[in-house]
Structure 1
Amino acid sequence: MMKVGLQFAVALVCFWSSAAQDKNDILGKTLIAILNNLQSITTQLENLKQENSALKTEIEAAASKQSLQSVIQQVKAVQGENAALKTEIEAAASKQSLQLVIQQVKTIQGENTALKTEIEAAASKQSLQSVIQQVKAVQGENAALKTEIEAAASKQSLQSVIQQVKTIQGENTALESKINSAASKQEVQSVVKQVEELDQKISIPKVAFSATLSVLQSGNQFIKTSVGTILVYKNVFTNVGNAYDPNTGVFTAPVRGLYVFSFNVFNAYDFSASQAAQQGMAVALLKNGAQVLSATDSLPAADKQDNCGGSASLLLNKGDQVYMTLWANNRIYTDVIKRNAFSGHLAFTV
């Protein structure tokens, strides 16, 4: 298109030269100068096209290598050069009325803009494809990593469960040992308790006694007093544990427990004395000096013989004393028949 313009300009110049050569020498020279300027500008435009073509090749090569930033930078540099060239051309056109040149420059700018758009679209598409490819690669790596993580987590979870099981087993073993130890200790304590109870049973003293008042082998005897006195049962025929003292008539409890006591006394008519001199019979069972119970009978009368007795179960502490007393101004009778007796035994410990 530019060549056509130049040919047209040359023809125009030739025409003007032949028609008005004599009158317009000065104008011809001016047109020749303009033509020279146009040829110079045309040369510059051709060079610019070549540079743009080379630049397009470089841009495409750079875009294929994904140097998008460098390409954009170069495009911006070209745009700057184009803008400067446009300024120069517009200045020259305004001085020389080169509207055609300006139109060509605008056409080149449009081509450059379209080329820039294509380059950016291609670069963007290539960049997007690269990004998509990278995303797919990362997704593949993430999937593989997820599989590895799940496998590792599963393995770690299994190891954790195994570790917990081992810990529980250890705790169970320790607890079993403690239980066995406690059970053994409890069994030992139970055995010890049984042994202690058995030992207590074994060590429980066997206590029992029985005695009568006198050791007379013949004859008889009235035992009487004007004051209260302890009856001493001297004829001991049973004294297991030796808790009864035949010298004092006192029973002393060897252990705490329940004891059972019984007694019986006998009185007879004294034929050596008058009726007025006869005496009644009254005795008492005492614990630590306190009366527990008593047994009494009035003067012997027509039957000439009186007999009475009693019994009691007493809770005694170790060291408590039990004995029989004859009340003041009373009497009892003893002989070889042994009708006065005092007995006691330990029923059980407490």
Structure 2
Amino acid sequence: MTSSYQQQLDAKVERITAQFSEYNMPALNVFASPENHFRMRAEFRIWHTEDDMFYAMFERDENQQKQVIRIDEFPIADQSINTLMPKLLHALKANPILSTRLFEVHFLATLKGEMLVSLVYRNALTAEWEVAAKTLSEQLDIKIFGRSRGQKVILTDDYVVEELQVFDRTYQYKQIESSFTQPNAQVCQKMLEWACNVAQHSDQDLLELYCGNGNFTLPLSTRFKRVLATELAKSSVYAAQWNIEKNNIDNIQVARLSAEEFTQAYNGEREFRRLQEAGIDITSYSFDTVFVDPPRAGIDDETLKLLQRFERIIYISCNPDTLHDNLKILSKTHKITQFALFDQFPYTHHVESGILLEKI
């Protein structure tokens, strides 16, 4: 591990340890990232000059003015993305149908070797574009997805299928182009194993809020009798259901509800046709654990009150500040018994955390 990476990781550990010291937190369990080639996603602007085009990103100078930075390689991205970048750019430059008005290029890679490239344009995509893009897709053995204002062109698929190893089992995940997925797949595998370890084994049921595409849901299902997972975004619910079926798991139900809506349903304040149509009877579950992986804004007050009713809370956080704020309420009924730091985003200020709270 180089000194520069270790220094930035040490700084994060120091920051989290100091920020949460008031909660008498246990020793921090730190999960490092590979130093290079850890991101499975990369997005670039395409910068056009009179006689050239190249991948670009931006940074602000001392006057807060945006400066164009040419990107020929991107060491933090997966090696497959770095290998493809020059080949793709050369092919795009050679074909005016594909290069004209090209605005952005997005890469989505997997550990198993699949690659989806999204080409984003400022002009409408034509039949000629589809023919050229299909040819390029076959030449480079990649999936290509086209997008412009109000238009999406799917040549084969708009997703890749990732494989993540959790202990001795491999799980397959459909990852859709426009949906959120964990960008650091190797650290994600460590997160999944950590969550399973702190969950231990229960003869009762798990409630999961904000389940996304079922990233945590699938491996956690091995630790509980049944799992009820909730997610509002339709594309994520679809992906989660696909993933459940693909992995031959039969003890998970997915409810298309927000955390706030689930709280209303669980408290008997409101009935939802979506639950009835999915054949979900909340009252049939016996929950002892709740798992949450909320957005950066954290958890609303009513849902926090709901969480306080469970024996155990497993909380994955992408924002230490909202986690700290939520703990002001949760610490009244629960104590932190496990605390982990996952370095999902090396060389940035972002910190991913995991805590286990158990009822006092």
TM-score (norm 1): 0.19
Larger relative helix fraction: 1
Q: Tell me which protein shows more strand as a share of its residues.
A: 2
In the superposition, the TM-score normalised over structure 2's length comes to: 0.19
